[in-house]
Amino acid sequence: MCGIIGCVQRGGDCWPRVYDGLKRLEYRGYDSVGVAVLDQNAIGIRKKKGGADALADAYLKGGAGIGHTRWATHGAPSDENAHPHAAGKFALVHNGIVENFAALKEELVAAGEVFLSETDSEVIVKLISRAYTGDFLRAVRDGCARLEGSYAIAVLCEDFPDTVVCAKCKSPLVAGTGADGVYVCSDIPALSGVCGSICPASDGELICLVGQRVLFYDFNLNAVDKTFTPSDGGSAVRERGAFTSYMEEEIADIPRALSDTYAALKGMDFTACARKLAAAERIFAVACGTAFHSTLSFRFVAEKCLGVPVICERASEFRYKTRLIQKDDVLVAVSQSGETADTAEAVKRAKAAGAYVVSVTNVRHSTIAALSDTNVPMRANAEIAVAATKSYNCQLMCLFTLAAEACCKKTGVYPSFYYDLPALSFAAREAFSCFPEVDALASRLKEKSAMYFLGRDADFVTAVEGALKVKEIAYVFSEGYPAGELKHGTLALVEKGFPVIAIVTQKSLAKKTENAVAEVIARGGYVALFSPFESVLKESAAQFCCKIPAVREELAGAVSVIPLQYFALRMCQLRGHDPDKPRNLAKSVTVE
C-alpha cells in the first residue's frame, strides 16, 4: 500500500534522502507522490500525480522532511489527493485506512473545516491541528485517539524544527539510525543500506525524531525503551542493472535465492517448531495471493509425510473460521513482505486461540515474523516487482524443508525428497533454457484475451500461480483449473484457438491430463504442454510442447513454475505494459 518516509538529516538538507526513499518505496504504491520539508519555521510541500519521477526536478530546502508514495483507497489519483496533507501548522503523510473518516469529516465540516482532498487522511491532520495547544507529541496522540482503522503517520509541525512525530496502529512503521540522519519508514527494505540499525514500532506507539535522536513513546506518552538491531544489508533495494525490469532480474535471481535460502535453512534450529508440527493433529496454513499458492504446495507435501490434514485458507477468509483453530493446532503463515494485513490478523487470531504459529517471511524483522513463535526466513532478498516470483520459489523451499523437519521429528527419518532440496537451485537455472521457446509461445498468444492453465494434484498449484501472474501483469483473464474439472463446466468456453497451458510433472497422472488436452483440442483449442518427460511430450496431441527440467515430483512446483513466470513477463511486455508496476496493485497490502 502507500509508502511513507520521514527523516531528520544531519547537515540540514533532507531532500535527497527523502526523494531517494520515495524511489525505494515506489513498489508500495505509485499513483501519486509528495514531499513536505520544514525549513526554519515554514513547511514547503511538493506533490503530484504519478510516480517518484514526477518530482525529479523538484527540491525543497530544510533538514526535516516527510514523503509519501500513494496507492489510492479514498479518492482517485490526483495532485489534490496526493499526500502530504496540511492543516494549520502541520503537514502529514499516512498509510492505512481511517474507517470512521466519514463521521469525522462530517463533524469537522460542521465545525467549519474546509477539505481540499477526497482522502480519509486529511481528517487526521485536521484533528491533530485542532488538538494542538503547543505540545506536538500530545496533539498527534490526541488526533490519533479519534481514529478507527489502521495508520502509520509521519507529521511535521512548523513550531518544531528538526522534528518528525510519527504514530502507528496496524500499519507497519520502522525507525532507523544511519550515519547521515535518523529515519522512519513503512518498510525495512527501504531503509537497508541507509540505516545501520533499525527498530520496528509496535501498535499504539509514537516515534519522535528530534535532532539526531529517536525516541519511542506509548499511547500514554510514557517513554519506551526499545532495542535497535543491525539492519539486514542483504535485503537492500538493488538497481535492476541491464535487465528490462525488476521482474526479469528477479526471475534471473531465482537460482541464487534458492541456494541462499537452502543454506540459511541448514543453519536453522527447527527443534521447537518441528516438535509442534509433528505432534499436531491438524495444521492450518494461511496466506494471500501467491503466498497462498505456496501453502497449497505445502499441503500436498506435509499431508503425505505427516499424515495429518493441512487446512489451507486465504488469510482474509480465515477470520471467519477462527472458531475452528485450537490450542494444539499449528498455524503456518506465509508472507513475502511479512506485513500483509490479513495474514497478520490471522496470526493474531491464531495466537489468541493459543495455537503455535510458524511463519515464513522474506523480511526478518517484519510484523508477521515478530508475532510468530518460530520464523523461517527466506533469502530471496528484496523483491521489488509487484508480481511475486523468486519469493514464491523460496517459500516452497522453506515449506518443503519445514515438512521434512517435522517428518523427521515424527518418524525419526527425513523423507527422501529432503536430500534433493539442494538440487532445486541447479534445476531452476536449467529452466532458463526454456525461455526462447516460451518467448515464441508468448508471441503467438499475445493478442488472446483469455486462457486456462491446467494441472492435476500438485501441478494444479503451478497452474493457479501461472494464471495469477498472467492476470496480474499482462491483464489477460486467466484461470488455473484442476485438469479433471474441465468437463464440469469450464470446457464450455473453449472454442477455436482458445489457449490452454497444461503442466505435467507427475508421470502417473500424465495420461489423465492428456485426456483434458485431447478434449480441448477436439474443440479447436490450442494447447501448450510443459513437462519434464520426453515420452509424455511425444505422445501428447498438444500443439506446443516444452521440456522442463526433471525434478522429483514432491519438489517439482518450485521449478515448473519458472517458465510460467517468464511467460507472464513476456506476455506483459509484448502487450506493452510495465511488469514492475501493474495497474491498481501494490507490492505490500497493509490494509485489510
Residues of the shown chain interacting with ligand M6R in the complex, contacts defined by CB under 6 A: 288-291, 335-337, 340, 343, 386-388, 468, 472, 588-589
Catalytic site residue 2?
yes
Minimum distance, C-beta of residue 525 to ligand M6R, in the bound complex (Å): 26
User: Is the alpha carbon torsion for 431, 435, 436, 437 positive or negative?
Assistant: positive
Dist CA 510 CA 527 (whole Å): 15
Burial 434-464 (b: 16+ CB within 10 A, else e): bbebbbebbeebbebeebbbbbbbbbbbbbb
In this structure, the dihedral spanned by the alpha carbons of residues 486, 487, 488 and 491, taken in order and rounded to 10 degrees, is 70
The distance of closest approach from Cβ of residue 584 to ligand M6R in the complex, given in angstroms and rounded to an integer, is: 11
Min CB(588)–ligand M6R separation in Å? 6
> Residue 61 or 583: which CB sits closer to ligand M6R?
583
- 2, 7, 288, 434: the catalytic one is 2
What nine digits make up the cell of 416?
Answer: 527422501
Nearer to ligand M6R, 383 or 554 (CB): 383
Residue 503 pairs in a beta bridge with 530
Which entry of 105, 448, 471, 587 is annotated as an active-site residue?
Answer: 587
The continuous run of DSSP H or E covering 63 comes out as: none
Closest CB to ligand M6R among residues 129, 362: 362
Q: Dihedral angle at the C-alpha atoms of 119, 120, 126, 128, nearest 10 degrees? A: -140
570/436 Cα distance (integer angstroms): 11
Cβ proximity to ligand M6R, 314 vs 547, nearer residue: 314
Spatial CA neighbour of 556 closest among 533, 534, 536, 581: 533
Strands 450-455 vs 499-503: parallel, antiparallel or unpaired: parallel
C-alpha distances out from residue 515 to 316, 343, 452, 529, Å: 35, 38, 15, 13
Task: Compute the least distance from the CB of residue 183 to ligand M6R, in Å.
Answer: 22
Question: How does DSSP classify residue 59?
Answer: -
- Of the pair 161, 189, the CB lying nearest ligand M6R is at 189
Which of helix, strand or coil describes residue 232? coil
Nearer to ligand M6R, 388 or 431 (CB): 388
Residue 480 beta carbon to ligand M6R: minimum distance, rounded to whole angstroms: 13
Per DSSP bridges, beta strands 526-531 and 544-547 are: parallel
211: three-class secondary structure by DSSP: coil
If DSSP codes are grouped into helix, strand and coil, which group holds residue 263? helix
Task: From 197, 246, 558, select the one nearest 387 (Cα to Cα).
Answer: 246
CA distances from 9 to 53, 162, 231, 354, 463 (A): 22, 8, 19, 44, 48
Comparing CB distances to ligand M6R, the nearer of 291 and 330 is 291
Percentages (nearest 5) of helix, strand, coil residues in the chain: 40, 25, 35
Neighbours of 149 (CB within 10 A): 16
Query: What's the closest the beta carbon of residue 296 comes to ligand M6R, in angstroms?
Result: 13
Q: Do residues 553 and 459 make contact, with C-beta atoms less than 8 angstroms apart?
A: no
Min. distance of Cβ 548 from ligand M6R in angstroms?
Answer: 21
Q: 103-136: b or e for each residue (b if 16 or more CB lie within 10 Å)?
A: ebbeebeeeebeeebebbbbbbbbbbbbbbeeeb
**Residue nearer to ligand M6R on the CB measure, 297 or 335:** 335
Q: Which is nearer to ligand M6R, 259 or 290 (CB)?
A: 290
**Cis? peptide before 309, omega within 30° of 0:** no
Task: Quote the CA–CA distance of 535 and 325 in Å, as a whole number.
Answer: 45
Q: Between residues 207 and 288, which has the closer beta carbon with respect to ligand M6R? A: 288
Residue nearest to ligand M6R (CB): 289
Tell me the C-alpha to C-alpha distance, in Å, between residue 528 and each of 434, 485, 488, 514, 553.
Answer: 13, 18, 21, 11, 20
Distances 365 to 201, 278, 360 between C-alpha atoms, Å: 11, 27, 12
To the nearest whole angstrom, how small is the minimum distance from the Cβ of residue 383 to ligand M6R? 9
Minimum Å gap between C-beta 426 and ligand M6R is 25
What's the min distance (Å) between Cβ of 293 and ligand M6R? 8
Task: Give the residue with the Cβ less far from ligand M6R, 139 or 369.
Answer: 369
Q: How far is the CB of 578 from ligand M6R (least distance, A)?
A: 14
Q: Which residues are catalytic?
A: 2, 587
